[in-house]
Chains A and B, each alone.
Chain A
């Protein structure tokens, strides 16, 4: 039987149980590394480095973690902060989160290949902020509030990112309309 995040965190905090922390690392290494890759524009080495630093900081600050938020939200937020700091120090090529910046949408006609391929291609036409917000909410299953916490932006901005992103995706993926069950 696997222990919950809260139980593992309690063990780490109260007993400095590194085995418990290792279980948390194993549980979240994949989603966190994927998140880090998104933040590092796909650079896998930088992303793994970022994820490693995130876990180290999380371990050091675990005593301050309040169970008000999900552990994953907290981890994602730490990763986001580290990436932002590195970006400020110009250590990484950061994905631009400026709300007003719209990447020129390549009006690629969505062809009838594979749905996933089409969705991924359509996602690439969105701004970085829209991509991150949509992925956090639709791929990782976070709520809008959690995505706002992770990205450190107001809830309204997240909702705007998602609404605009979805609008663009809907127009690009319109050809899938007939394929969906009514």
Chain B
């Protein structure tokens, strides 16, 4: 075996016996350990809600402040004051009857269970 042949033989045998190591989680561990890889800290859920709610509330207050609310509320208030409550009497009677019927059916069902 001359030198060249032996070199080729040795190279072939060593290279073919060299295993490939599966990465597994090695790369992930390396990347996680690099500087500048900050772990994202999750905020408390209530803090997250507060962060979302505060700007929404502020914007809502600002938008509502632009509306002529007095012009909107005053007619409703006036209508409530001048409303004739006696005209609601038939409606109240009908509602009372419906509620009574519902109550009766529920109580009879409860009795049948025992």
Contact = CB atoms under 8 A, between A and B. Distances in A.
A35 to B, nearest CB: 11
Contacts of B23: 26, 29-30
A166 interface: yes
Interface string B18-55: 11111100110111011111000000000000000000
Interface stretch (B7-15, B62-70, B91-99): B7-15
Interface string A1-28: 0000000000000001010011001100
Contacts of B30: 25, 29, 52, 55-56
B33 A30 contact: no
B21 A59 contact: no
26 contacts: A18-B31, A18-B36, A21-B34, A25-B26, A25-B30, A29-B26, A29-B30, A30-B22, A33-B26, A52-B26, A52-B33, A55-B30, A115-B13, A116-B13, A119-B10, A120-B17, A134-B10, A138-B7, A139-B11, A166-B10, A169-B6, A170-B1, A173-B6, A174-B1, A176-B1, A180-B5
B18 A34 contact: yes
Contacts of A51: 26
A180 B34 CA distance: 49
Nearest to A48: B26
Interface size classification for chain A:
20 to 34
A38 to B, nearest CB: 11
Nearest to A118: B13
A137 B34 CA distance: 31
A60 interface: yes
Given A16-B36, A52-B33, A56-B34, A22 B21 contact: no
B24 to A, nearest CB: 9
Given A21-B34, A25-B31, A51-B26, A169 B10 contact: yes
B29 A166 contact: no
B16 interface: yes
Given A30-B21, A60-B35, A116 B6 contact: no
Contact of B27 (A26, A34, A115, A123): A26
Nearest to A115: B13
Nearest to A137: B11
B82 to A, nearest CB: 72
Of B14, B19, B36, the most chain A CB neighbours within 10 A belong to B14
A104 B19 CA distance: 27
Contact of A138 (B14, B29, B33, B35): B14
A133 to B, nearest CB: 12
Contacts of A21: 31, 34
A110 to B, nearest CB: 12
Nearest to B34: A59
A29 B1 contact: no
B35 A116 contact: no
